[in-house]
Amino acid sequence: MAKKKPSALEALTRHDEERLAMQTKGAELRRAAALELGLIVLDAGGSRLGADALRRLIADAVAAPSQDRPARERAGKPAVPRTGAAVESEENSRG
């Protein structure tokens, strides 16, 4: 037997329930990530810094362009490894 197409009201209710579930899952993942990062900071000796100094250092580190990322990635373009036909095509176009 064919399934009944859900009404817009049922679909909206299901959507709201899914959004709530995603928000709950997001909060759990955020707490887990915070714990993981906190352990990294403690292992690196971060407990010797005050909370304000630590916040400033982290904010500065996150805002600063990383020296180990390619300029292309910093410009918002993903750094994709070039292999195969793409490399051959570029080499052939250079002559």
Q: What is the pLDDT of residues 60-81, one digit of tens each?
A: 989 988 766 665 565 565 554 5
| pLDDT tens sequence across 8-60 | 999 999 999 999 999 999 999 999 999 999 999 999 988 898 889 999 998 99
- Reported pTM: 0.52
Residues sharing a CB contact under 8 Å with residue 72, sequence separation 6 or more, in sequence order: 78, 79
- Reported as a pLDDT band with limits 50, 70 and 90, residue 87 is very low
